[in-house]
Structure formats: C-alpha cells, structure tokens
Structure 1
Amino acid sequence: MQTLFDLIVLLFCVTGYVCDLSISPTRPVSVDALVGSDVTLAVSHSGASQPVVTWFMEGVPVVIWTVSDYTSPDVASDHSSVLHVDQNGSLTFRNVSLRYNGTYTVEMTKIGETRVSATFDLLVYDIIKNVSLHTVPVEAVEGARVFAFHYSTMQGDAREVRWFFNGVRLDNGPHYSINGKNLTINQPSRNDTGRYAVVLTNPFSSGTHYRNITVLYGPDMPVLMVSPTKAVFVSGDSLFLSCAAEGLPAPSVTWMFSGRSIPASSGGTVNLTDVTTSQSGVYTCVLINPKTDAQMKRNITIHVYEIPSGEPLCSVQATNENLGLQFLCVWPGGVPEARLSFPDLSVNDSGEGNFSITPNDIPSLNGEEIICKADHPLIQTQCSIIPRGPVDFLPVIFTTISQDEQTTVAVHCTTEASPEAVVHWFKDGHGLEDARKYQISTNTSQLFILDFNVSSTDLDVYTCTAINPLGSETSNVTLLGPQISDSSIVLSDNRTEVTLNWDVPPTSIVTGFDIQMKGPDLTGSQFRTIQMMPGFTRTTNISGLEPKSSYFFRIVPQAGGTTGERSEEHRVQPDAGLRRAVIAGISAVPCSIILLLFVLAFIYCGKCDRNPRYPISRAVEKVRTVICQSAVNDPHHCPPPEYRLQPPERWTALPYVNTHVRRATTV
C-alpha cells in the first residue's frame, strides 16, 4: 500500500504537479521492545529524493545520513554497535537495552524544501523477576498515622501495578493511597488485618507477591470489677479485684497501689484479705501491649474509712518559664479523700489529694496569705502559703585554690523568695552562660569563676539578678585583688610571743597570707616570710621572741600567684622599764593607806583592852616594813620590782613554717 502511495506521488511530480517533502511513520509511534531484541522505528518519505535524515535521542542527534547515499551513516560512537539506518531512513536497534528507553525524533531536510519530522516513544522492558514487598514500619499498629507497603523487583519494570486486599482490588481513596511503588494505608485499624498482594505486568512478563499483615491494637479500655460489690469496706473484710481488656497480642496486667506493684494472678486478679485502713485508696490497673508498649490505665477506689494522716501542705512554684504561679495543696490518704480548694483564688475549682491551681492576677498576690481549705467528712482544716518576690540580699564570696594552684571564686546570691528565685548572672553588664570559664549551679544561685586571675579582667563588676513571677532583685559585687583592710598586734606579758590579727575587704580575693618578720634572729635587714597561712585565717601566733630585741611584722595577702598590697608594719620594741620617781610615787600610795589603817587600829585597840591581841602576819609585816621604809627613806628611789629575765636566745629556732599549706578563704 505504501509502495502504491509512493508511485502516485512520483507520478504527480513527473507530470508537473508541485510536491512537498513529507515524512510519515509506517508503524505505531509507541513501540514496546524486550531487552536484547531488535526493533525498528519505521518511517517513509516522499516529495524529494535523497533528503538528509537526522535521528535525535531525547533531543541529542545520534545518526545523520543522506537517503540513498552509498556512504555510511554518521552514527554517534557510543551507539554505533546498536543503531543502524535503513535505506528509507528508518532507525533499527539491535540487541536493545534499557538504556535506549526514551523519546526519539527523526527530521528530514532537503535544500529548498521544508523540514519535516516525526516522533516515536521506545519502551524497553525486561522480564519481571523476584517481586518482594516491604513494610514501613515493620509492624502495623492501630492508631498510627500511616502504614505503607513498598514493592521491589530484582529485574524488570512494570507497566501496570495492581494492589489487592483479601482478593479485592484496591483503588486510590481516603483510606488507601497508591503512588509509584507504594501502597499506603491511612490510619490503619484492626480491620486492615489480612492478605495483601501486588501484581506487576509489562508487555513481556508479570509477577505477583503476597504478604499477610496483622494490625496490632489495644489494650482497649479495661473493665474493672470488685467482688463483693460494696461502697465501703470495713477493716477485716476480704475482696477481689479483677481487670481485663481486649488487645492483640493480649495485654499484660499489673496492679499498682501507692506507687508500688502488688501481687496479682496470671489472669490479673488481686486477692485482698483482712484489709486495713492503710489499704484504702486508689488501685490502678496497668495494661501493656507487649509488642507495641501501648499502655492503658484505669483506677478503682477502695474505701476503708479513715482521716487523712498529718496536715495539708501548701506550696507555690513557678510555671510558664518563670512567668506564672502554680499553687499546690497536698493532703493525700484518707477515705474519702479530703476536698481541697483555694477559695481566695477560685470559688468553683477544687480537687482531692493533690490539687493545684494557676491564677491569672499574679502581682496582687505578693505578700498575701493564700489559704487552702481541706474538707473531710470527719474534720475540716487548712494550710497557707505567702508568695513573695525576691528581697534585698548581699552576695557572698568563697575562694578556693587547688593543689595545682588553680584559683576558683564562687559568688553566692541567695535571697528569700517564694517560689524560689531563678538567678541570672552578668559581668560588666553582659550575660554569662554556663561554660568552661563560668559555671552556674543547678539552682542558679552560685557562679563559679574557674582559673581566676586577679591580674586579668576577672576583677570586674558581677551582677546577679534574682527573678520569680512576683518580681526581681539585683545586687552588684565588685571583686577586688588581695588586700588587707585592717591589722593589729598584741604582745604577750612575757614579751616572747605576739599575736597578729588582720581582716580583708568583703570582696577581696585572697587564697593565703605570707607572715613576714624582720628582726635580730633573721639574717639581713629585709623582711622574711616565716609563715604561710591559708586564706580563711585571720590570726596567727609567733613565739620564741627575745624580750630585749626589736621586731617588725607585716602580712602580705596572696591570690594564687599574685601578691597583694602589704599591711602596715607593726613594731615590737624592748621594755625600757619604769622610772624610779614613777615607781616611788606608785609605792607611796599603798604605804599611806597602810599607815592610816594601823593608826585607826591602834586607837580602836586602846579602847578595847579586854580583847585579845593577835599577832600580825609576818608576811604583812614584811610588806609593810619594806614598803614604808622605802617610802620614808627615799620615796623617789624605791628599787624597781625584781623581774626574772631569761638569758638572751638569739639563736632560738623560729616557728615551723609549712610551705605546702593549701590556701583557701571564705569571705
């Protein structure tokens, strides 16, 4: 037929009719091919002899040839073993592979003629082998959002995919979604348990795979029973509790009471014998699906009348990122449980055992007593709490030094607040976060400055702001280097020992003190460290001094490896003794008193001759005689008292100095 058409066209052209170049497929433009077979995209043309033919594969030219030309077609090198051009311009594929699956376009051109073209779709298929189904997730669970099947093949693609459930074909809809290689079940339920199949077909083969799916569910709402059926049990009664619920697989049953599990039979029954009031309360049946871990709980209350133990407890805590308040009232136990309420916060809200409420008008509650009323059939009582914003406070500083001479400074900012305040830390106006250098305690009330260096920017202004929903309070502390704010010295009576006392500013960072001395027992004229005291000390004793020698003392504060400003120098001088005139004057006073007493006694005794006379103590007489003679003979030259002076001890060893004292201070 095509040959006849070509002859007619040629006849018209020879007889003078105008003929245009044309091209037409001689077979269907959609061609199916099996991998490894030969296939031809056939075309014919008319209206011009020896047109130029160009074949395109997905828009890329792969073959160029002039029809009826005896030269070889120009075929792309990577396709030369597969693509061949026939005499009429048709394209033949030999041993075609999946690589050639796609769209092909042929164009014919002739000088002076219009360019013409035709398009073909080549679909190359392989034999379908080893179809398998996979599921995501592995188990189908009732209530999940989706459950999906995905098929795969070892070889071959399908032109048509059909899904079946229990032999019934599935279509796209609200419950099933089919897309590509996936079948998705939306919100699977136990009714989706069954046999699923996927059937794959192409023009040359087909494949089928089956998968049985069990949708896990439950536990459903359990059914609880009490036997015998009573509203209230009395001490000494016996009863049974049972719990059952549907589920796949069958759920396990556990009974809980007061936060502890209680023995139950394999069927989930609890036998309570000779019950007491302590067994009154809420019993909880906990059912767990052993495969999905899904839980279902249900409570049942057993009443054995008693008054709740203790007293109701009130508390308040911050909520909503420290912006709100939650008041709690707890009075557990008792049967029936007490009814708890905060009448100052809400008229209608109440609860039992453990009740909480979150009010809206927070500022008005600052400093107000909030009462929780606890009503029980046998007693009515209450508890209260006063919420407060943070009050003014002063930071407290602690300094420690480790064995490797690393100094750590801790700043404590603790304020009275209800609920407990959260502390935010700043350094020189910039917020501090918990990191390597700065560490904040769990309750945020303490800032630890690690590897503190008094010669760096660690000496700065630190700010702590305590915040709770009812307000905030800010306090600043300026850390200072090691300093001595005050010092003093006390000499012992025998002038062989001194006591040094000192103090430091409250915000001074000190880890230890060097006690330095200058005196005759030390070589040279410079101060020498004789003691190294830990940072928490404020006093020390230095003994073994020579009374007739002069000494100088001072305290040098330390902070890690940094030396601070020294204290003032304290001097101890030898005792020069009292002047003779001063001693004589002092001695004259007691002598005059004693003479006056003797005169009065003589007058009195002269009037009392009958009274016996007692001898005066020789010790008194000796004292009187010595003192009086000294005063009468030469009151200005009384000999000084006789002091027992020890011989000089210039080479007396100084106190033991422990150079390995671990220093720490608390300010």
Structure 2
Amino acid sequence: MPLLDELGRLSGVFLAVLLRFTFQGAHCELVVSPAGPTQVNAIVGSNLTLAVSFSGAPDPVVIWLMGDLPVVTWTIGSSVPPDIPENMRKVLKVEQNGSLTFVNVSLGFASNYTVKMTKSGVGNAVLSFTLKVFENIQNVTLSTQPDFAKEGTDLFILQYSMLQGVVEHQMWFFNDIPIKTNSHYLMEPRSLVILRPNRSDAGQYTVLLTNPFSSVTTHINVTVLYGPDEPVLEAHPAQPFYVAEDSLSLSCHAEGFPQPTVQWDFGGQMLSDTHKGVLNLTNVRTSQGGIYTCTVLNEKTKEKRQKSTNLNVYGSPAQFLSAVRTTHDSEGKIVVTIYCVSDASPKAVVSWSRDSGAITSGTAYQISSDTTQLMMVDYNVSNFLLQNYTCTCRNPLGSQSREIQLQGPSVSNSILFPNQDGTVVTLTWEIPPTSIVTGFDIQMKGPDLLSTNHTGIQTRGSSDGYRTIQQKPGSARSTDIFGLEPKLTYQFRVIPRANMTEGVPSVVHIVGPGMENCSTECV
C-alpha cells in the first residue's frame, strides 16, 4: 500500500507540471526589442548596426523595410541566404539575431527603418528606427539676390551654397545678434529673406551650419542702397536778402548711399562751378537773384530729388534807361511819353517832377500804374519845351535821379544810299532820344522824277526849289525814292515835324553827275 500511494503522488505532480507548461505555451508572445539606440546618426563611409533582440519564439522570419520598401527578408537560423536587393548587397547585412548592419554607408541610406518579426502561431513584432547619414560641411559661401539691397523694395535674399555637407541646423546672425523669424525676417531652407529692407539692415550677416559631425560659420557684409532723402539747402551767411557786391555760398546735401551727387541750376542753366554741393557766389549782382534749384542723384539707383531756394539780391537804382516816344491822339494832339526804367532790386518806384514841382496824374499829365511812364498831351509842341522833367527811382537801398530835357523836332544823322544803276536811292535818318517828332517831310530839289509810284510821291513848287515828295510818320527811319535819271543831279533832305512845327532840316544829300560841285554832302 505505501508503494501505491507514492506512485499516485508522483503521477499527480507530473500531471500538474504538464498542465502548467501546456497553459504557458498557449500564451507565448513574440517580442522584439532594441539592443541600442533607435535614433542613429552616422557619417558617410562608416559602419553601423541597427541592433535588436527578440524573445518568445525561436527562428522567426525577419523583414527590414526602408520606408515602405522591403530591403531584407530572412528566417533566423536558416541556411538560405537573406533576400537583399542586388544594388544594396554591398552595404546591407543581416546578423544572426536579426540586427541590420550597414557597411560603408552612403547618404542614400538615410531613412526610417522598420523591422518586422513573424512566427507562425505566435504572431508579429514590430520596431522602428531612424537613420540619419551626414557628410562633413565644407566650403560654404554666402551670396545675395540681387547683388545690392535697395531700401523700399519687397525683399532681399541671402543664400548659402556648399561644396558638400548635410545640414541639420542653420542659424542666422546680424552683427552677431541671433535672428528670429518675424515680420521682417523669414528663414527658409538654405536662405534668409529680408522683407522690405531698409538702411538699418546694412551690416554683417553670419550663417552657422551644423550637424552632429561638423559645423561651419560664414560671413557676408550687406550694403543697402538708399536715398537721396529730402535735400537740405543752406545759405552762408544766412540772410533774408543780399546786397549787390556781397559774397555768399549755397550748400546742398542729402542723405543716401552711395553719397548722392549734387547739381545746381539757375535760370534753366546748369552751374558747373560747384564743389561737393557748394555753390560760391562772389561779388553777386542783382541779375543773379532768383530761383536756384538743387538736384541730388543716387548714381546707383538713379533715384533723384530736387529742392529750390529763392535768392534775393538787392541793389540801389542804377543804369537808367530813359526814352521819349511821340504819337498823336484821336483829336490830333501831340502825345509825348517819357519812359524811365532803372536796374534795381527790389523794383524801384519812380516819382516825377518838373521845374515848378512834383507831377501828379491829372488833366495835363498821366502817370502809368507802374510809375515808369509820364504822358503829356498838347497841340503846341512849344509847351513841352518850357520845362525840364526829372524822374527819380527809389527802393529801400537808395535812389537815383535823371533829368530829361525835351527837344523840338530834329534829325541827328542821315545817310543816302543809291542803287547800282542810279535809279533808286535809300535815305535813312536818326533823331535825338528826347526829340519830339510826329512826322517827316522828304524833300527833293532838281528835275522831276520819271514816274509817280506807290510810295506816295508828291510834287510841290518848281524844280528850282525844294519840294516835298514823301511824308513819313514819326516812327519811320528810312524811305526809298524811285524814278531817278542817272544822268541828272538831285538833292534830298529830311524835314522833321511836330504837327505844324518844322524842325531844322537834315544835311543835304546830292546824287548825280554834278555831285563834284556839291557843297554839303555828295554821293
């Protein structure tokens, strides 16, 4: 009996152990675990292993995927070689425990890798890796697009290039201060974009390129073209006005890069005698007063601006210009106008006087609105000759006066020109500047002219005395006389008139074969 009891006890223990192992086998799980890092960095040409370990089933099928592409398939422990694409066999190698080894790895193998282990009746196990493959960064250069930044344009780009290398991180610096992406800077792969560049963006830019195996720093200096800004005009010495014979300088400058060039012009003419934007005016004249315009030009961008200044140059009245003009009014009265103009700045005001005192506008005298003209009206020329007239020009810097003495009708100079055939003569004459003349009688002495023509020839008196052959207005200074007989002798003179008052005749001009006996002027 004791023997049977012992056998029964041993059978129970064996059954319990068997049941225990049977229960555990029904719940076995295939597990794959990393035997090293799952994020792996490698340098080109190195060897590395994506290491794994597994448990829960013997000899599972292992599959490695590069992204979604299977690159290794093998049953662990099998004598059959693993299935690897031919173009990867020199690089990829599967280890006995299912790990994936890379030999002389190249950039093309950088990817995400997934290992799948499968055992029939047990299930699947999956594990992921990331492989980054780098080159050492070498020969980095910086360039810009365009070559120069210009203030106000939309954008300016700095970009780097390199002979070789894989960049994991890029950092940009401006004058050694780190740059961050914001409304002014935009960092893109391989470049930095400056939005709406301005002059404050000029300076040194630096890019720092790094990966786990190397780092390189490269610099570039950026120039920003800008301007010209609004020109600044200054006069030295600064005064509200200048007096003739003063000396002064006008300066013009504007901010910009490159430094803008300066050009002055006055009265539509460019002024060449400037130095660095400074125009020197020595012993200035009143004629040099006026608008001076400064043009500043950025020769790189071709942008330009202009600004003008008004230079006031004053002078006391000088260089008088006086003249007398005689006409008729509708009633036949003699109208005498005296002009009095001076070179003065500011413009001079003219006052008029005569021997008996100041002249004001009224019945006998009229003064123009700008005061430069005095007009007198009378039938009798002698009434104009009784007094002397004075015009006085005044401005804040002084005054000048001129006396005008009117003369009766007279001729100051006359000349006779015959044509080549001797059939036509041209008679010219001048009158004194203050002479009162309303017309001229052209007189001739000698035989009658051959014909009467369009010039208004008239015959008065006999051929033995002078007779009027033409009458000319007071504005005339020449006349042509036709119908002369070349073989005969003629005498001509000019009689100035003021209405019915005759002045002293001009010299007598003689033309013809008898001119050798002339006593006045022979032609």
TM-score by length of 2: 0.52
Partner of 1:269 in structure 2?
A: 278
Question: What is the correspondence of 1:560-579 to structure 2 with a 5 Å cutoff?
Answer: none
Per the alignment, residue 143 of structure 1 pairs with 152
Counterpart of 2:255? 246
Counterpart of 1:153 in structure 2 is 162
State how 1:548-627 maps to structure 2 within 5 Å.
none
- The yes-or-no answer on 1:217 pairing with 2:222 is no
Deviation at residue 206 of structure 1 after TM alignment: 1.2
Q: Provide Cα deviations, 1:187-227, integer angstroms capped at 9, x if missing partner.
A: 33333333222111111111111222333333332211235
SS in structure 2 at match of 1:48: coil
Give 1:28's match in structure 2, choosing from 32, 37, 45. 37
Aligned to 2:139: 130
**Letter of the 2:164 counterpart:** Q
Counterpart mapping for 1:375-524 below 5 A: none
Q: Indicate the residue corresponding to 1:46 in structure 2.
A: 55
Q: Give the residue type in structure 2 aligned to 1:62.
A: V
**Amino acid of the residue matched to residue 63 of structure 2?**
T
Partner of 1:165: 174
Return the alpha-carbon distance in structure 2 between the equivalents of residues 260 and 68 of structure 1. Answer: 101
Q: 1:179 aligns with which of 172, 175, 188?
A: 188
2:47 matched to 1:69?
Answer: no
2:130 counterpart of 1:121: yes
Could you say if the C-alpha distance between residues 274 and 179 of structure 1 is closer, same or farther in structure 2, counting changes exceeding 3 Å? same
Indicate the residue corresponding to 1:290 in structure 2: 299
Structure-2 separation of matches of 1:58 and 1:206: 29
Q: Which residue is 2:373 aligned to?
A: none
Q: Residue 275 of structure 2 aligns to a residue in which SS?
A: coil
Q: Which residue is 2:463 aligned to? A: none
Deviation at 1:111, TM superposition (A): 2.4
Is 1:82 matched up with 2:91?
Answer: yes
Q: Report deviation, 1:154.
A: 0.9
Is 2:211 the counterpart of 1:202? Answer: yes
Distance 2:126 2:266 in 1: 85
State the TM-score, normalizing by the size of structure 1: 0.41
Counterparts of 2:21 and 2:254 in 1: how far apart (Å)?
A: 91
CA distance in 1, matches of 2:52, 2:119: 16
Contact 1:238 1:275 in 2 (8 A): no
Partner SS, residue 74 of structure 1? coil
| Offset of residue 230 of structure 1 | 5.3
Change (3 A) 1:228 1:13: farther
Query: How big is each residue's C-alpha offset from its partner over 1:221-268, in whole Å with a ceiling of 9 and x where there is no partner?
Result: 221123555556788876532212233332211113454422232222
SS for the counterpart of 1:75 is coil
CA distance in 2, matches of 1:48, 1:14: 16
Contact 1:255/1:285 (<8 A) preserved? yes
CA contact (8 A) 2:284 2:313 kept: no
Instruction: Indicate the structure (1 or 2) with the bigger Cα radius of gyration.
Output: 2
Q: Which amino acid letter does the alignment assign opposite residue 165 of structure 1?
A: F
CA distance in structure 2 between the aligned counterparts of 1:100 and 1:58, rounded to whole angstroms: 10
Aligned-residue offset at 1:25: 2.0
- Report the counterpart of residue 189 of structure 1 in structure 2: 198
Q: Is the 8 A contact 1:172 1:178 kept in 2?
A: yes
Question: Displacement, 1:66?
Answer: 0.9
Aligned residues: 299
Q: Does structure 1 retain, via aligned residues, the 8 Å contact 2:28–2:122?
A: no
Q: 1:12 to 1:290 in 2, by over 3 A?
A: farther
Q: Percent identity?
A: 45
What are the equivalent positions in structure 2 for 1:622-641 lying under 5 Å apart? none
**Partners of 1:50 and 1:61 in 2: how far apart?**
19
Compute the displacement of 1:73 (Å). Answer: 0.3
- Decide whether the 8 Å contact of 1:254 with 1:286 is kept in 2: yes
Report the Cα offset of residue 80 of structure 1. Answer: 1.2
- RMSD of Structure 2 on Structure 1 (CA): 3.1
Instruction: Report the AA paired with residue 178 of structure 1.
Output: M
Task: For structure 2, list consecutive stretches of 5 or more residues without a partner in the other structure.
Answer: 1-19, 315-344, 347-368, 371-523
Please give the alpha-carbon distance, in whole angstroms, between the structure 1 residues aligned to 2:186 and 2:22: 60
Shift of 1:284: 1.9
Aligned-pair CA distance for 1:57: 1.3
* Equivalent position amino acid for 1:117 in 2: V
Q: Which has the higher strand share?
A: 2
108 and 13 in structure 1: CA distance in 2 versus 1, 3 angstrom threshold: farther
2:255 is aligned with 1:255 = no
**Distance across 1 between alignment mates of 2:224 and 2:278:** 28
Letter in 1 for 2:250: L
Q: Is the 8 A contact 1:254 1:264 kept in 2?
A: no
1:32 CA displacement:
0.4
Rounded to whole Å, the distance in 2 between the matches of 1:238 and 1:206 is: 66
Counterpart of 2:28 in structure 1 is 19
Once the two structures are superposed, what CA deviation does each residue of 1:300-346 show, in whole Å capped at 9, x if it has no partner?
A: 234579xxxxxxxxxxxxxxxxxxxxxxxxxxxxx99xxxxxxxxxx
In the TM superposition, what is the alpha-carbon distance from 1:269 to its structure 2 partner?
2.1
Q: Secondary structure at the match of 1:219?
A: coil
1:505-544 matches, within 5 Å, as none
Partner of 1:411: none
Distance in 2 of aligned mates of 1:254 and 1:271? 13
**Cross-structure match for 1:650:** none
* Counterpart-to-counterpart distance in 1, 2:284 and 2:178: 62
* 2:229 alignment partner, SS class: coil
Letter in 1 for 2:303: A
